[in-house]
Amino acid sequence: MISDPLVTKGIPTYNRADAFFSDCVASALNQTYKYIEIKVSDNCSTDDTSRLMNSYTDERLRYVRHPEDIGVISSLSFCLQEARVNNFLMLHNVDFTDDGFVERYIRATAGACRVIFSRLFIIVTSRQQKQFVLCVV
């Protein structure tokens, strides 16, 4: 295994500037793992997604706004194709991870796993009661 492999986080998006998208991008940028690049594929959003993305100055972040609607699957594929490395994490545009997620992924897989899928479902039944379910495949 190469020590400290580069990891790509892919984020496909469409019209999410007013939702949790800024939290999603912040969680990608705030990782404790240093060797990370973030690829955002904007599927021709008509809201303020472009303005929001252009406000970031972090050079690890690459934003591409497609001039026409390429569809969800093509936007996902674009993120994967644009990755410069074999270690790829998909982050959906309303999801976010804690700051140590990528570091734990690298440590847990020793770099051997090239694509990982994980999903944390938060089920809110009331303000006081939440159920957390984590699935990693």
Domain boundaries, the chain: 7-136
Q: How far apart are CA 23 and CA 127, in angstroms?
A: 20
- pLDDT tens for 66-115 read 999 999 889 988 998 888 777 788 888 877 788 888 888 888 777 565 55
User: What's the fold here for domain 7-136?
Assistant: Spore Coat Polysaccharide Biosynthesis Protein SpsA; Chain A (3.90.550)
Residue 65 CB-density burial (10 A; 0-12 exposed, 13-18 middle, 19+ buried): middle
Residue 41 CB-density burial (10 A; 0-12 exposed, 13-18 middle, 19+ buried): buried
User: Rounded to two decimals, what is the model's pTM?
Assistant: 0.78
Q: How does the average pLDDT of the chain come out, rounded?
A: 81
pLDDT of residue 136: 43
In this structure, what token pair is assigned to residue 109?
Answer: 């897989």
